[in-house]
Amino acid sequence: RRHEREVERKKGSEMMHGGGYHGGFGGFANPFSRPMDWNALGKFDSITPAVQQHLMRVYACLSTGLMCLALGVYMDGKHHVSGTMTQVLLLGMIFALTMIKDLYNRLAIFHAVGLLMGCNLGPLVNQVAAFRPDIVMTAAMGTCTIFACFSAAAMVAKRREFLYLGGMLSSAISMLFAARFLNMIMGGALSSGLFAVELYGGLCMFMLYVVFDTQMIIEDAHNRRGDFVEHAMKLLTDFVAIFVRLLVILTQNAEKRERRERDKRR
């Protein structure tokens, strides 16, 4: 009996100190019993040096495009240049980007697209910044965080793991366009519900588009289709779509809080 009691005590002490089944911890695997492999966090097995170089070009081009976009917002705030002309020019520049093959001309057109996007976004951004500039900063920082996290997730994931999202996202964006067209035909009768669906559903959709487009860029780079200007254009579109929806959501939430505070004061 003494021997059996000693054996039970040893088992109990092993369970208390992280021993036992599969490393212990109360019958479950102890997450602290095995060393953390910090090098695994920085491994990008599907990204070769050539693909890394291509991604550096894509994100460098995207960064300068975002600078042009910020300049366009500033120009609209100072000179109010947005309007029908800037929208027509934006569509023309995007069409020209698909036709022109010269690299330097494509870079110039890409940055012009970023500038015109900023001009067209200017009225919305400047209107919010006039009353709550902190909302604009929060939306910008939130968009950068979302973009960085989802891009990193696409890079760390296995090759072609998220390419199946392409069909689903294409169907989702077609449904959003169809809902907007239906709302226009009905004279805005469904505007309140459809606007919420488009706002939150569109935000989730373009967040997934960041993952899909990043993996498509990596796949194209593996197959030697290294048009970094076109790839930067895709990511710029995703960035702007996320930023606009996040800005509208934050503005709506701030207005709701202000209404509640007014009601409480009354």
Convert the pLDDT of each residue in 146-182 to its tens digit: 999 888 877 776 665 655 566 677 777 777 777 777 7
Q: Who contacts 201 (Cβ-Cβ below 8 Å, separation ≥6)?
A: 172, 176
**What are the pLDDT digits (tens) for 101-116?**
999 999 999 999 999 9
Contact present, 116 and 89 (Cβ < 8 Å): yes
pTM, rounded to two decimals: 0.77
Q: DSSP readout, 100-157?
A: ---HHHHHHHHHHHHHHHHHHHHHHHHHHHHH-HHHHHHHHHHHHHHHHHHHHHHHHS
CA-based nearest residue to 215, from 234, 239, 201 = 234
Contact present, 126 and 176 (Cβ < 8 Å): no
pLDDT: which is higher, 4 or 136? 136
Positions of E strands within 104-256: none
Q: Which amino acid is at 43?
A: K
**What are the pLDDT digits (tens) for 17-71?**
444 434 443 333 343 343 433 343 344 555 788 888 999 999 999 999 999 999 9
